[in-house]
A and B are shown apart, each in its own frame.
Chain A
Amino acid sequence: MLKTFPLGGIHPPEFKLTSGSPIKQLPLPQTVAIMVSQHIGAPASLLVNKGDSVKTGQLIASINGFVSSNIHSSVSGNISKIDTIIDTTGYRQTAVFIDVAGDEWVDTIDRSSELVRDINLKPEEITEKCRESGIVGLGGATFPSHVKLTVPTGKKCNLLIINGVECEPYLTSDHRLMLEKGEEILVGISILMKALGVEQAMIGIENNKSDAIAHLTRLSSDYKGITVYPLAVKYPQGAEKQLIKALINREVPSGRLPLDVGAVVHNVGTAYAVYEAVQKNKPLFERVVTITGKSVTNPGNYLVRTGTAVRHLIEAAGGMPDDTGKIVNGGPMMGKALNNTEVPVVKGTSGIILFPSDESIRPELKPCIRCAKCISACALNLEPYLLANLSARGLFERAEIEKITDCMECGSCSYTCPANRPLLDYIRLGKSTVIKMARQRNIK
């Protein structure tokens, strides 16, 4: 039987419409808007001014603190202004606006497609290279990778887990990357293994991507210590804790990190970005984005420079269908609806999904019938109906005792609820309030 995590989980329809579409390069737009905060942690501090000319791959905003990341220009051209632009939530963030002129890359970047297998850097140098190149976790959370590669003293890492699960419906960017850049990903994994000083790496891939499993299994025989594990298809298997449980059957305790069970988890996209940074000297300024939707004429996977407006992606996919009701940034389970197509693509944008209007309306709300389906669906052993009720009534202290902060906001509870209760909405409210309360308590 295939490995999977035992508790909770759901299986939404997959709709992986673009799993057969090869990655294409999206033509460069005329202007890009590169946000200085594309990661978890402190926004990067600006290094450029209005009127400066920049090259592709040039550092334009530098790391600001340990948990932060460098930002590089994704195009060459002139900086027309430094202003604010709306992000996926609609709130304004500082961004660098660049008028694109040609595509002149920084000289140090190796643009050849030749595979470089020999790893010449020392472990500390690899971590430093990831820091310099602005590598963040490309699975969606955009946590700076150099932080994950720095094992704190007293902790020991003995296993690297590579996340090729892509459990969100519709999205296929990691799938395509594994098929087309398999060798590069495996070299990237070897680099990560060297940086962490581990001998063993496990790649977890869900069984609905059998071609990727076969491809990587065949290639990985050449690489020492890397094994591919097919996993049963179940959402939210791409979450760190669930993936660890599925692969090595160890449970990360509440409020702790994967490192506490000796594992570090990285995404396949991150492994590819690490390969490019270390072997090709190329900082992270482009990523694969899936543009898809049931009525989209030309769905596909595109290599997109950061800062490109979502509008260009939609145009490349054949324009917005007339029946579009909602544009979602990210997967359908955890993604956020956009209210403007001028929002730029950032390091964490994994996909853009255009939903027809009949699928984008929330169904009618009904009273809770105490069926406990949400409890069965929760992969973290929480009681979603209780947490939602507690935070709706403002009983945040009690919600904290019930471990509301453990929730990873995967949305399985809301998905499974037959009464269409807005469980996750209230849990998110409670979680953020409890985190704020705890922070204030720590200050005191």
Chain B
Amino acid sequence: MSPTVVITIISLSILAVISAVILYFVAQRFKVYEDPRIDDVQAILPAANCGGCGFAGCRNFAEVLVSAETFDGLNCPVGGSTVMDAAAGILGKVPVKVDPLVAVLLCNGTPEFRPFTSVYDGVADCRIQHSLYIGETDCSYGCLGNGDCVRACQFEAMHMDPVTKLPVIIDDNCTACGACVKACPRKLIELRKKAKKDRKIYVACSNCDKGGPARKACKVACIACSKCFKVCEFDAIVIEKNLAYIDATKCTFCRKCVSECPTNSIIEINFPPKKPKIEVQAEAVSN
């Protein structure tokens, strides 16, 4: 073995030992204690980093969970109760029951109901179109149809319907992370309490104009006639700013408001067809 190689091996070995000693002491001096439970909790979180919990990613949420006194107000909408129960198990805390939510679109202005009055050929971005002007229809509150919400969704729970020009929400994929709610410049998406069999009854309109202009712009606009408000036996409907709103926590799905609405702006989803008995009665009355 040539002396050059020997000298190299020896000198590098000495250098390595010295560096190791320095690094050891530095590591001791600047040691940051991290709760090992943070890693455990992060491991069970969905790793979607969607920000639906209100914190900057899953790691941040895990840190918050470990340091939190109780789980009040902390929830991972993506993982739901299974993930939160598991986290509570690791940390020895009591899980808080949170109702699962699902996104719904508060607009039903398809071209059939809401005619086009102008053509927009600018950037296909809802925020830009919203700040420029009212949009291609006469409704200044309705969906612009450029799909900012679809681009914001990372769970493939939304797509644009080419016929209705409105976004479609796939309930099974929706995790209620709220990304679409933030993306919509017209605040058209609401996170509502999930019900059995994905049933929903809600006012699919956000038009705060008075009845006349609202109806002129869109045939299925809420005109705030307050018929639904009167027929509701459970005080679930409030009318504010020329718009009816159904409180999902109070609604019992009796469906009385749906048939009462003169403009069909209240829609029901995933219900069985109405019993034929009622239709027969209605016919008898009309005759």
Residues of A at the B interface (CB closer than 8 Å) are: 84, 86, 88-92, 336-337, 339-340, 361-362, 422, 425-426, 428-429, 432
Contact = CB atoms under 8 A, between A and B. Distances in A.
A339 B123 CA distance: 17
A88 B135 CA distance: 12
B122 A336 contact: no
B125 A86 contact: no
B282 to A, nearest CB: 38
B121 interface: yes
29 contacts: A86-B134, A89-B132, A89-B133, A89-B134, A90-B133, A90-B134, A90-B138, A91-B133, A91-B134, A91-B140, A336-B132, A336-B133, A337-B133, A339-B117, A339-B118, A339-B133, A339-B134, A340-B117, A361-B121, A362-B121, A362-B122, A422-B122, A425-B122, A425-B123, A426-B128, A428-B131, A429-B125, A429-B131, A432-B131
B127 interface: yes
Interface string B125-145: 101100111110010100000
B183 to A, nearest CB: 10
A91 B118 CA distance: 14
B128 A92 contact: no
| 5 residue pairs, one from A and one from B, having the closest CB atoms | A90-B134, A339-B118, A89-B133, A422-B123, A425-B123
B123 to A, nearest CB: 5
Contacts of A432: 131
Contacts of A89: 132-134
Nearest to A388: B123
Nearest to A89: B133
Contacts of A426: 123, 128
A249 to B, nearest CB: 36
Given A90-B134, A429-B125, 17 more contacts: A84-B209, A88-B133, A90-B135, A90-B138, A90-B140, A337-B118, A339-B134, A340-B117, A362-B121, A422-B122, A422-B123, A425-B122, A425-B125, A425-B128, A426-B123, A429-B131, A432-B131
A425 B209 CA distance: 28
Contacts of B134: 86, 89-91, 339
Contact of B128 (A90, A340, A361, A429): A429
A88 B133 CA distance: 8
A45 B117 CA distance: 32
B25 to A, nearest CB: 39
A40 to B, nearest CB: 16
A391 B234 CA distance: 47
A422 B138 CA distance: 25
Contacts of A90: 133-135, 138, 140
A339 B134 CA distance: 9
Contacts of A336: 132-133
Interface string B88-132: 000000000000000000000000000001100111010110011
B121 A429 contact: no
A164 B128 CA distance: 32
B45 to A, nearest CB: 24
B66 to A, nearest CB: 28
A337 B118 CA distance: 10
Nearest to B134: A90
Contacts of B133: 88-91, 336-337, 339
B102 to A, nearest CB: 26
A425 B146 CA distance: 15
A90 B118 CA distance: 11
A338 to B, nearest CB: 9
A422 B132 CA distance: 13
Contacts of B121: 361-362
A388 to B, nearest CB: 10
A416 to B, nearest CB: 18
Contacts of B123: 422, 425-426
Contacts of B127: 429
A426 B129 CA distance: 11
B50 to A, nearest CB: 15
Contacts of A362: 121-122
Contacts of A84: 209, 213
A38 to B, nearest CB: 18
A89, A90, A340, A425, most chain B CB atoms within 10 A: A90
Contacts of B131: 428-429, 432
A89 to B, nearest CB: 5
B266 to A, nearest CB: 24
B57 to A, nearest CB: 16
A404 B121 CA distance: 24
A425 B128 CA distance: 7
Interface in B32-90: none
Contacts of A339: 117-118, 133-134
B239 to A, nearest CB: 19
A429 B127 CA distance: 7
Contacts of A429: 125, 127-128, 131
A230 B128 CA distance: 38
B29 to A, nearest CB: 34
